Amino acid sequence: MLASKRILLIIGGGIAAFKSLDLIRRLRERGAEVTPVLTRAGEEFVTPLSVSALAGKRVFRDLFDLTDEAEMGHIELSRSADLVVVAPATADLMAKMAQGHADDLASTLLLATDTPVMVAPAMNVRMWEHPATQRNIATLKADGIAFAGPNEGDMACGEHGPGRMAEPLEIVTAVDAALASGPLAGKRILVTSGPTHEPIDPVRYIANRSSGSQGTAIARALNSLGAEVVFVTGPADVPPPQGVETVPVETAQQMLEAVQAALPVDAAIFAAAVADWRVASASTSKMKKTKGGLPSLEFAENPDILATVSQLDHGRPGLVVGFAAETDDVVENATAKRKRKGCDWIVANDVSHGTGIMGGKENDITLITENGAEDWPRMSKDDVANRLAERIAQSLI
Ligand code: CTP
């Protein structure tokens, strides 16, 4: 989705600047054109040569570089992009932005630009939490500056907390969303996908035959209509789609936590084949054969993620879509499931042995909404995904 998009990348002076080299590579891999700007402090961490080699372009460094002014003035440079990305955005650079300083090339470009700006902050946790920085963040947000991160974690300085720059792929996802166009641009949509694995012991688990292909196709289709997609997936056979934020999980419990962490969203699509039960007390060491007889497993019920989200009093997504994998009385069972779980739509399919749907390439759908049941002709899972994404777009407009 980044093909031929122009990114003006301002690299500030922080240890995280080394990640910006990878960011350039990731953006270019996706077809974006990256024009790099390196601050004086940034040059202490990465060299102009490595930046320009990765960008495949000269790097802009100095406001008073007359050659630059002859070729392209700083005003023009600031406006020659679809998005200005500041990564790493240091506390100092953000303070300059909030105050409107223009005393070097980076701050001048940021003051002169008329294109959207995104910052990926990176700083020590105390600096991030300082009231002055928090004031600047509030000012920048009020000015319409988008934020990618920061993350929480261990820092180069040895401390722990918020302030770590977002990973390059997370920034790419944020850039993708910021530049998205299409009927779902500006909408954040959650998709669950794949099976869950419920451990019996450290080497054995209970799973199901879901390949994750329908959920993956739906996430891709929503993303291609411009949605920012959070993709929470169990261990699937197919790779996750590119350009979406992927949260890998194993168990139903982990899936619920990842889903709750992803809220609020505009819509949530629950395509995962979640195990209904887990082993009540999974063994922490490998179970061994004994002469005493066969082991017995006791089960506990897993949380119902779809029902939990559908029945939220606060922060319920505007549209909640569940799936129903049935083998008998598909429409009756799915209609009852829609009521019982409290979701808006159910995508029902017949997974009886012989239909070839579970793990296959095609799907045979009945869409259950408040208006009743609607049969779709048998089609590829990609076509189901595209048609469903279009319907979701219509209902969110
Ligand atoms: N689901 C969920 N959490 C669970 C179980 C299911 O979120 N613990 C979601 C699935 O992602 C799917 C929908 O619920 O969207 C239907 O799941 P299904 O397994 O078909 O329904 P069950 O709740 O198991 O009902 P039944 O056993 O009666 O078929």
Ligand 1 atom 20: residue of nearest CA: 324
Q: Which of 112, 143, 178 is the last residue of a domain?
A: 178
Report residue 297: phi and psi, to 5°: -105, 135
Catalytic site residue from 138, 156, 157, 280: 157
- 192 and 152 within one domain: no
- Out of 178, 207, 229, pick the residue that ends a domain: 178
Domain of residue 221, residue span: 188-396
Q: Is residue 183 part of a domain?
A: no
- pTM for this one? 0.74
How far is C-alpha 104 from the geometric centre of its chain's CA atoms?
34
Q: Is 304 in the pocket of ligand 1 (CB under 6 A)?
A: yes
Q: CATH number of the domain that 234 lies in?
A: 3.40.50.10300
E strand or H helix that includes residue 269: strand 267-270
**What CATH number does residue 57 fall under?**
3.40.50.1950
- Does residue 163 fall inside a structural domain? yes
CA 336–ligand 1 middle distance (angstroms): 12
**CA-wise closest residue to 368 among 337, 327, 326:** 337
| 12 close to ligand 1 (CB < 6 Angstrom) | no
pLDDT in tens, the chain (397 residues): 688 899 999 999 999 999 999 999 999 999 999 999 999 999 999 999 999 999 999 999 987 765 666 666 778 888 889 999 999 999 999 999 999 999 999 999 999 999 999 999 999 999 999 999 999 999 999 999 999 999 998 877 788 889 999 999 999 989 988 888 889 988 999 999 999 999 999 999 999 989 999 999 999 999 989 998 999 999 999 999 977 889 999 999 999 999 999 999 999 999 999 999 999 989 999 998 888 888 889 999 999 999 999 999 999 999 999 999 888 899 999 999 999 999 999 999 888 767 776 767 888 899 999 999 999 999 999 999 999 999 999 999 8
Q: Answer yes or no: 343 catalytic.
A: no
| Index of the ligand 1 atom closest to the CA of residue 325 | 20
Residue 126 corresponds to which tokens in the numbers above?
Answer: 């105390």
241 and 261 co-located in one domain: yes
Count structural domains, the chain.
2
Q: Judge if 134 and 197 occupy the same domain.
A: no
Does residue 210's CB lie within 6 angstroms of at least one atom of ligand 1?
A: no
Whether residues 124 and 21 share a domain: the answer is yes
Tell me how far apart the alpha carbons of residues 275 and 271 are, in angstroms, rounded to a whole number.
12
Judgement on whether residues 28 and 170 belong to the same structural domain of the protein: yes
CB-ligand 1 contact for 145 (6 Å cutoff): no
Residues 151 and 262 in one domain: no
Our mutation pick for probing the ligand 1 site, out of 191, 253, 257, 274, counting the most ligand atoms within 8 A of Cβ, is: 274
